[in-house]
Amino acid sequence: MAKELIRLANCRMDFDGETVLDSINLYINDKEFLTLLGPSGCGKTTTLRIIGGFLQPTGGDVLFEGVRINDVPPHKRRVNTVFQRYALFPHLDVYDNIAFGLRIAKLSEDEIDERVEEMLEIVSLKGFENRSINALSGGQQQRVAIARALVNRPQVLLLDEPLGALDLRLRKDMQNELKRIQQAMGITFIYVTHDQEEALTMSDTVVVMDRGRIQQIGSPEDIYNEP
């Protein structure tokens, strides 16, 4: 039976007197690939940022394993984020980009090496350890960003339109890669996109949003057959 991991209870977000998220209710299960789908301005990125702790909702609660986390800062949540702009360090090679957060956390070099090697295997970049970031393709940079976000073993990975900067062929390749990586890691992915094909290809659950409200929640088959 699926285990609930995250719950948004009557979450509302106002900016300058305008409601951009209108009292939404949503639960997300452990090890689920859930996609927030909708047009620009529908509230999907705001929802993601609330889950990540980058925004505090104007009203309502965010629960993680049943515990209210509204006031918990991003770095204390077991959540990491991959943005469309990967924010990789151009002066560091692939290995050191992935290892960066582990060194900040003062892990031993043996532990760092073990974890980085594991991530290189999972994102199919074995042998790229010493490559410069600028020598990588867009898809390879994307994988480094994902590896860096996963190497400290979060329970949840948030992905904010991460394929938007890639060309069509690479986007299709990365859709398959993301699903494979999510299953290999066995964690929850929460993905934001306006691209219906992306949502239907990768997700266990699709949440359709518009104008700050949830319009529909269902499996890709449900969404496709009864939009």
Same domain, 149 and 159: no
- What's residue 130's pLDDT? 95
| DSSP structure class, residue 218 | E
**Is residue 145 one of the residues assigned to a domain?**
yes
Query: How many angstroms separate the first and last alpha carbons of the chain?
Result: 27
Per the structure, the complete domain to which residue 59 belongs is given by 1-75+155-163+185-227
Q: Which of 82, 96, 76 is nearest to 181 (CA)?
A: 82
204 phi, psi to nearest 5 deg? -85, -40
High-pLDDT (> 70) share of the chain, %: 100
Strand partners, 11: 24
Average pLDDT over residues 200-215: 96
Looking at the fold, whether 54 and 159 belong to one and the same domain comes out as yes
User: Residue 224 has what pLDDT?
Assistant: 87
- Nearest-CA neighbor of 190 among 11, 58, 49, 17? 49
- Give Rg (Cα) of the chain: 18
Q: Could you tell me if 57 and 92 lie in one domain?
A: no
Cα angle 52, 58, 60 (rounded to 5 degrees) comes to: 80
What band does 9 get if pLDDT is binned at 50, 70 and 90? very high
Q: What is the mean pLDDT of the chain?
A: 93
4-15 β-sheet, strand order: 18-29, 4-15, 59-64, 67-68
Give yes or no: residues 142 and 159 share one domain: no
Tens of pLDDT, residue by residue over 113-159, are 999 999 999 988 999 999 999 999 888 998 899 999 999 999 999 99
- For residues 40 and 26, membership in a common domain is answered with yes
pLDDT in the model for residue 107: 94
Q: What integer is the mean pLDDT of 55-71?
A: 96
Query: What pLDDT sits at residue 142?
Result: 87
**Averaged pLDDT for residues 182-186:** 92
Task: Choose the weakest-confidence range: 106-110, 121-125, 208-212.
Answer: 121-125
Q: What is the pLDDT of residue 145?
A: 92
DSSP 8-state assignment for residue 135: G
196 & 218 share domain: yes
Q: What integer pLDDT is reported at residue 191 of this predicted model?
A: 96
Establish if 170 belongs to a structural domain.
Answer: no
C-alpha to C-alpha distance for 150 and 71, rounded to whole angstroms: 23
- For residue 35, CA distances in Å to 44, 103, 204 come to 9, 32, 8
Go through 113-149 and write b for each residue having 16 or more CB atoms within 10 A of its CB, e for each that does not.
eebbeebbebbebeebeeeebeebeebbbbbbbbbbb
pLDDT of residue 166: 77
6: pLDDT confidence band, cut at 50, 70 and 90?
A: very high
User: What would the pLDDT profile of 13-44 be if each residue is shown by its tens digit?
Assistant: 999 989 999 999 999 999 999 999 999 999 99
